[in-house]
Chain A
Amino acid sequence: MAHAQEHTSHTKLIWKVFGILSLITIVEVILGIIKPDSLHLTHFLGTSILNIIFLLLTLLKAYYITWFFMHMADEKKNLRRAVVWTAFFLIAYLSTLLLLEGSYIHDVLGPLTKWNY
């Protein structure tokens, strides 16, 4: 059973990561329910500070899931980059363009929408 000696149990790490993920989710839910005006009614980078916080917390959760649940941390650096960088840059590119385009369409069409009768 050479195999069994190679791999020590990671149970402790797994529960720790579960704790972190739960904590982040709880923070997100609390912020989502309260929606403090000081964060929600602000403008920052095209959206509110609250949304930026949500986005960062989401990326943090994605990091923990990928690195410790999917064991990306144990893969070779090149495999990690082939998967993570490809996804990251393509998604960042696509969403930047589409969100800019969406704002533009809104700027053009928004004033044409009739809201009073």
Chain B
Amino acid sequence: MEATIATNTNANNWGGGNQKPLGASYGKMMMWFFILSDALTFSGFLAAYGLMRFKFIDSWPIADEVFTHFPFLHDVHAPMYYVALMTFILIFSSVTMVLAVDAGHQMNKAKVTFYMFLTIIGGAIFLGSQAWEWKNFIHGSYGAIKLNDGKIIQFVDAEGHQVTLESFAKEIPSERTQHIKSKGVWFVEEAALPAITVNEVIEGFKEHPELTIRTEQLNTEIKKKTIIPREKAMDYLNESNKVVMGANLKENEYGKTLFADFFFFITGFHGFHVFSGVVINIIIFFNVIIGTYERRGHYEMVEKVGLYWHFVDLVWVFVFTFFYLV
């Protein structure tokens, strides 16, 4: 009869018994399997990104040309630096997290509190950095022309460097105002008018003989965008549809709209993970302060949120590679 009676119940074990499958506590193992499933979700997204990238392998935007901003450095071409900084922030907050776990093993409440605090700060800085990155991407850097068939045309100078539309567009006074409901038929309205019209861009282009255009198409020999000689440029510009500034889910001045869609979705999904990680860290941080885990006799909860936090860092390592490096 002895075997049927659970004599020593333990809330950390499966079903409160004495068996620990795979030598892990219930909570830790479930965290591992949650992380496994979340990892598969992220790989689904990244693999879909890969599918689309291989589909448009000869016209995908070049990341180095898209993410070129750095705080307080204006008009400086700084590819990679900012995202490298973000990577370091996240790796460092991972380090403070693992130091908190380590301090938890030694039942050192003061150290756990301190390192958890640093981890939360690191997560918050990362989220702010990501918001800034999004802001730059949404506002754009140079502006471009979208053709009737949806292709993006960018403007370059004689050296092949991109130039902003503002720098050459001719100012043509226009009577055209935005059509809003109060000014016309009540059920018809239109989006805000762009600051620069297609006509202004084309007239400005004609007056600047040093300029020419480039298409999204990559020259696979040198892995650069194809520059069209100026004589042929007007054939393209006659197809102009609208001016595109920055990127959103519908259009993207850097090229393929799909690039923007995947960027917003995947970094957004990751950012949401960071956000929820910060929230969970804050909850655990206060639990540490009020001594919950001191009374419980172990800091396993810190380990479990630590696993989640490291996972967020792990995902960023892959996002960094696939969006910025390859």
Cβ–Cβ < 8 Å partners of B239 in chain A: 117
Task: In the complex, identify which listed stretch (B40-48, B174-182, B192-200) lies at the interface while the others stay far away.
Answer: B40-48
Determine whether the beta carbon of B310 is less than 8 Å from that of A101: no
B8 located at the interface, meaning its Cβ lies under 8 Å from any Cβ of chain A in the complex: no
For the complex, give the distance between the alpha carbons of A15 and B96 in Å.
10
A interface residues, how many (CB within 8 angstroms): 62
**How many chain-B residues does the 8 Å CB contact rule pick out?**
72
Contact call B40/A90, Cβ cutoff below 8 A: yes
Does chain A have a CB within 8 A of B132?
A: no
Contacts known (A41-B223, A65-B94); A7 close to B325, Cβ less than 8 A:
no
A64-109, CB < 8 A from B: 65-66, 68-71, 75-76, 78-79, 82-83, 86-87, 90-91, 94-95, 98-99, 101-103, 105-106, 109
Interface: B249 (CB within 8 A) = no
Considering only residues 6-63 of chain A, those with a C-beta below 8 Å from chain B are: 6-7, 9-11, 14-15, 18, 21-22, 25-26, 28-29, 31-33, 35, 40-41, 47, 51, 54-55, 58, 61-62
Contact B23 A79, beta carbon cutoff 8 Å: yes
Q: Give complex CA distance A47, B220 in Å.
A: 11
Q: Which of B54, B88, B105 contacts A102 (CB 8 A)?
A: B54
B54 touches A103 (CB 8 A): yes
Residue B95 contacts which of A18, A31, A75, A105 (CB distance < 8 angstroms)? A18
Interface Cβ pair total, 8 Å cutoff: 167
Name which residue of chain A comes closest to B105, CB basis.
A7
Cβ-defined contact, A76 with B95, below 8 A: no
Distance of A41 from chain B, by nearest CB (Å): 6
Interface presence of B6 (CB below 8 A): no
> Which listed residue (A6, A69, A99, A110) contacts B310, Cβ 8 A?
A69
Listed stretches B134-142, B269-277, B313-321; interface member: B313-321
B40/A87 in contact, CB under 8 A = yes
**B36 close to chain A: CB less than 8 A:** yes
- The answer, yes or no, to whether A1 is at the interface (CB within 8 Å) is yes
Q: Which of A25, A66, A68 contacts B314 (CB 8 A)?
A: A66
Give every chain B residue within 8 A of A105 (Cβ-Cβ): 51, 54-55
A99, B238: Cβ atoms closer than 8 Å: no
Q: Which residues on the A side are within 8 Å of B43 (C-beta)?
A: 87, 90-91, 94-95
User: Which B residues fall within an 8 A CB radius of A?
Assistant: 22-24, 29, 32-33, 35-36, 39-40, 43-44, 46-48, 50-59, 64, 79-81, 84, 87-88, 91-92, 94-95, 97-99, 101-102, 105-107, 149, 215, 217, 221-223, 226, 232, 235-236, 238-239, 297-298, 303, 306-307, 310-311, 313-314, 317-318, 320-321, 324-326
